[in-house]
């Protein structure tokens, strides 16, 4: 994997202050309206601080001068219904217009959340426009609410509409792009994205996630797509505790060989920084260096096959302390710059961690199983499948 050392192409950054006004409410509140049981209530885990604090790091470090701001715009109903049912869209709108509430399994919303979710989906589309028109080479959409769990007719897992599905279908419809790659490195499986493209041989969906975490029933290695889409879903369920070394091996042995065989015309990343070292909802150990590695790998794929076209959309991340630094590392890598921001964990500490250097037996077994399953569909893996 190459390391970009100087800016050669502009990088777009999508952000809107409206994203901060989506309020999922208080953590652990009771649906019957009973008083919160603690004197000091906690904010919902999917609150505004992740994207806000990442934006602060980017601005205060001086990284912003290497970015081109790209304005988001609201997705239309027809943009959403390339995947979501009209009934789903109407239900989200009605709940929000009534003041907000639970829109699905673990997907609370506030009065303004419908409009903000349209703007989040439109943020991904705006990133696509900027990349396809050549205004920027690659882009990061710092949007919320996230999207990859949202199903065609169901909100779930903090997600209302599936931002990356909307953006990918928009790219195909608006710009005539055929082959699309979507990589999802969120610690939770992108079940909505898998569902949207399970029968589509023109969309390669690759997900690295913690095995059997969320949601139940999704993300198994044996789920490879259906019918004509068989083999174009690549699930890499990794054991809890996997760190940079296991993720690096997953890229080198599986993700990159398949990507190169697929030859995408554009690359998307669903970027959830909840596989990080200190996340509350995951049990992985990926560091900022791990996120830099994965970003460089996707830059390489985009440069080799897609004329550099790479769009990264924010998904999860629940460590207010560390996840913003991971997002910062991704954006910094996109620019090819190191602006000297002091990070919470120094490089010598990261280098000394066992999971940064070594792959455990369970990690090797997981990678071996995925390789065996996918070798039936990808010739690049057959020589290594045993």
Query: How do residues 197-206 score in pLDDT, each as one tens digit?
Result: 999 999 999 9
| Contacts made by residues 216-224, CB under 8 angstroms, sequence distance 24+ | 218/189, 218/191, 218/194, 219/189, 219/191, 219/194, 221/366, 221/369, 221/370, 221/373, 222/373, 223/194, 224/373, 224/374, 224/377
Query: How do residues 72-112 score in pLDDT, each as one tens digit?
Result: 999 999 999 999 999 999 999 999 999 999 999 999 999 99
Domains of the chain (ranges, CATH numbers): 11-27+43-384 (3.40.800.20)
CB 22 within 8 A of CB 145: yes
pLDDT of residue 4: 40
pLDDT of residue 284: 98
pLDDT of residue 25: 87
pLDDT of residue 310: 98
Residue position matching structure tokens 């027809």: 78
Cα(160)–Cα(121) distance, rounded to whole angstroms? 10
Positions of the chain with pLDDT under 70: 1-8, 28-37, 39, 385-386
Cα(331)–Cα(271) distance, rounded to whole angstroms? 11
Cα(201)–Cα(90) distance, rounded to whole angstroms? 30
pLDDT of residue 385: 61
pLDDT of residue 5: 37
Both ends of the chain: CA-CA distance in Å?
25
DSSP letter for each residue of 311-372:
EEEE-----TTTHHHHHHHHHHHHHT----PPPSS-HHHHHHSHHHH---HHHHHHHHHHHH
Q: Which two tokens stand for residue 301?
A: 């794929």
pLDDT of residue 36: 63
| Number of other CB atoms surrounding residue 173 within 10 Å | 12
Catalytic residues: 149
């Amino acid at each position: 994997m190459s390391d970009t050392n100087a800016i050669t192409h502009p990088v777009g950054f999508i952000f809107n202050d409206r994203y901060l006004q989506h309020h999922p409410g208080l953590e652990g509140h009771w649906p019957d309206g009973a008083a919160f049981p603690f004197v000091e209530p906690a904010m919902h885990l999917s609150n505004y601080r992740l994207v806000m604090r990442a934006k602060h790091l980017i601005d205060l470090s001086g990284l912003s001068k290497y970015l081109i701001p790209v304005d988001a715009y609201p997705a239309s109903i027809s943009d959403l219904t390339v995947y979501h049912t009209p009934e789903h869209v109407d239900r989200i709108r009605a709940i929000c217009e009534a003041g907000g509430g639970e829109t699905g399994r673990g997907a609370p919303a506030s009065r303004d959340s419908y409009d903000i979710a349209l703007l989040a989906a439109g943020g991904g589309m705006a990133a696509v426009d900027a990349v396809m028109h050549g205004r920027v080479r690659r882009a990061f959409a710092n949007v919320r609410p996230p999207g990859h769990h949202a199903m065609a007719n169901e909100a779930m897992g903090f997600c209302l509409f599936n931002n990356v599905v909307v953006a990918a279908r928009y790219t195909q419809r608006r710009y005539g792009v055929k082959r699309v790659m979507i990589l999802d490195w969120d610690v939770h499986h992108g079940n909505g994205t898998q569902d949207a493209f399970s029968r589509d041989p023109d969309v390669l969906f690759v997900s690295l996630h913690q095995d059997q975490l969320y949601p139940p029933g999704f993300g198994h290695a044996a789920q490879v797509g259906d019918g004509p889409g068989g083999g174009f879903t690549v699930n890499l369920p990794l054991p809890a505790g996997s760190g940079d070394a296991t993720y690096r091996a997953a890229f080198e042995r599986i993700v990159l060989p398949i990507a190169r065989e697929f030859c995408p015309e554009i690359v998307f990343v669903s970027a959830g920084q909840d596989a990080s070292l200190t996340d509350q909802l995951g049990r992985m150990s990926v560091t900022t260096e791990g996120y830099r590695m994965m970003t460089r790998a996707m830059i390489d794929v985009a440069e080799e096959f897609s004329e550099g076209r790479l769009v990264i959309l924010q998904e999860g991340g629940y460590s207010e302390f560390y996840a913003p630094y991971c997002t910062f590392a991704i954006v910094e890598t996109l620019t090819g710059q190191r602006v000297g921001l002091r990070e919470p964990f120094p490089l010598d500490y990261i280098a000394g961690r066992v999971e940064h250097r070594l792959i455990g037996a369970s990690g090797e077994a997981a990678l071996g199983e995925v390789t065996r399953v996918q070798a039936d569909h990808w010739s690049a893996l057959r020589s290594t499948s045993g």
